[in-house]
Amino acid sequence: MTHHGFCIWLTGLPSAGKTTIAKALTPKLKARGWNVELLDGDEVRTGLSADLGFDRKAREMHAARVTFVAKVLARNGVIPIVALISPYTSSRAKARQEIGRFVEVYVTTPLSVCEERDVKGLYKKARAGTIKEMTGIDDPYEMPEHPDITVETIEHNPDQSADYILLELEKKGWLPSASPSGHSGAPVGAKASAV
């Protein structure tokens, strides 16, 4: 029997910290015996959505494709970690509906801090008007109203955020508690994957 995985969906503004937190989380889940696949916005765009732009319809389509992949992974015992701006409430709601075992993690960082971080230099370009449809500047970001988990990156470092997410998953009963003895708490069959 294949153990059922679940999807951890990180949403937030550009440069909020989604990729950074996802990368901190991945080895922690692997150490507990899970198969993890990071579906990171940029990489997935290249592989799955190179044909799509950044208007609403395209962003919704992109999120829908990522949702499909995450669903297939989760039902085969993998934990897909999605790190995607996913600015529209409707896309995230569809992901939840389709995947079922799904936690929405709101990576929240003030826009001013994201703009200072500007990891890819896109805020600068958007302010200069050389790129359009930049989330947070001239494209909307619909804040999650009822995220399952919220991580505040100006209060907690990436490692703390990752640990907090693990703790919340333990509270939900989706992740066995890591026992003090150091036992991984890996579920039987967690490594089974048919994809």
Ligand X SMILES: Nc1ncnc2c1ncn2[C@@H]1O[C@H](COP(=O)(O)OP(=O)(O)OP(=O)(O)O)[C@@H](O)[C@H]1O
**Contact call for residue 108 and Mg ion (CB under 5 A):** no
Q: Which CB sits closer to Mg ion, 40 or 170? A: 40
Confirm whether 112 is a catalytic residue. no
Q: One of 15, 49, 86, 161 is an active-site residue; which one?
A: 86
Strand ranges (E), 41-96? 78-83
Q: Which does 157 bind (CB under 5 to 8 A by kind): ligand X, Mg ion, none?
A: ligand X
The tokens for 72 are 């297939």
Report the partner that residue 5 touches, choosing among Mg ion, ligand X, none (CB closer than 5 to 8 A by kind).
none
Q: Which residue's CB is nearer to Mg ion, number 85 or number 186?
A: 85
Query: 3-class SS at 10?
Result: strand
Cβ atoms 21, 155 nearer than 8 A: no
Q: How far is the CB of 9 from ligand X (least distance, A)?
A: 13
Beta pairing partners, 10:
83, 105
Q: With the CA atoms of 29, 21, 151 and 94 taken in that order, what torsion angle do they form, in degrees rounded to the nearest 10?
A: -80
**Which positions ≥6 away from 73 have C-beta within 8 Å?**
5, 7, 37, 79, 80, 195
Note the residues at the interface with ligand X (CB under 6 A). Answer: 12, 14-21, 41, 83, 85, 117, 119-120, 153, 156-158, 161
Contact call for residue 91 and Mg ion (CB under 5 A): no
Which residues contact Mg ion (rule: CB under 5 A)? Answer: 18-19
Instruction: Kindly list the catalytic residues.
Output: 86
